[in-house]
């Protein structure tokens, strides 16, 4: 992955109308039933030989965190934590790539309460897109209890617009993170923080580099 290829992908998205993604969504018959499947840990995702990421380890943009803090009155660190599953070391510092939405001791999103999302109005962009993601060949549909129902064409087109915005924001975020990390960014050296780690972590999120003590 390099900035040139990421910029080409952004250009393709710019020149593709979001309506092109709507048919796949409409065919899925998605209608959110607020079942909480995406809020709970249901399985592990193998990132590398040494890193298994919980299915609900949700990566969030700084804009997502700001929107939630404005809506809830919570502080930044109440909402998000450094991404402990995507870390590097430059020999002196631990560098985390981005932020995760906080999870509870029950391995649920901390905002999943009374069997529903308590921040639905301010939920992160990735949650607004679920169960749809942009794959190499178009829209991919993840597991969801809300599939196989009826979806209005207006809803499909609305989600297609959100998915396009999310994908472009994600790619631009990657470019920003690559600029922050420079030659330190080597995915072969990606590591997960050991359980019980205590110390400083430098979070690179594409906007700024923040220091957090775990």
Would you write out the chain's pLDDT as a tens digit for each of its 214 residues?
789 999 999 999 999 999 999 999 999 999 988 889 999 999 999 988 888 999 999 999 999 999 999 999 999 999 999 999 999 988 889 999 999 999 998 889 999 998 889 999 999 999 999 999 998 888 999 989 999 998 999 999 999 999 999 999 999 999 999 999 988 888 778 999 988 899 999 999 999 999 999 9
CA distances from 125 to 1, 128, 161, 165, 174 (A): 23, 5, 11, 9, 16
Helix (H) or strand (E) holding 140: strand 138-141
């Amino acid at each position: 992955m390099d900035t040139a290829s990421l910029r080409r992908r952004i250009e393709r998205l710019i020149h593709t109308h979001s309506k092109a993604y709507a048919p796949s969504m409409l065919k899925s018959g998605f209608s959110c039933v607020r079942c909480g499947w995406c809020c709970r840990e249901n399985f592990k995702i193998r990132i590398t030989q040494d890193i298994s990421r919980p299915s609900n380890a949700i990566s969030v943009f700084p804009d997502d965190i700001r929107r939630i803090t404005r809506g809830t009155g919570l502080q930044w660190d109440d909402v998000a934590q450094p991404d402990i599953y995507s870390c590097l070391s430059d020999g002196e510092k631990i560098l985390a790539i981005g932020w995760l939405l906080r999870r509870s001791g029950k391995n649920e999103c901390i905002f999943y309460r009374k069997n529903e999302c308590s921040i639905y109005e301010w939920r992160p962009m990735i949650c607004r897109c679920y169960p749809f993601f942009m794959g190499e060949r178009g829209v991919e549909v993840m597991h969801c209890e809300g599939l196989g129902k009826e979806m209005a064409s207006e809803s499909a087109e609305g989600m297609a617009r959100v998915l396009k915005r999310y994908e472009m924001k994600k790619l631009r975020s990657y470019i920003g993170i690559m600029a922050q990390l420079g030659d330190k960014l080597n995915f072969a050296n990606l590591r997960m923080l050991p359980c019980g780690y205590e110390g400083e972590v430098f979070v690179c999120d594409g906007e700024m580099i923040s220091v957090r003590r775990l």
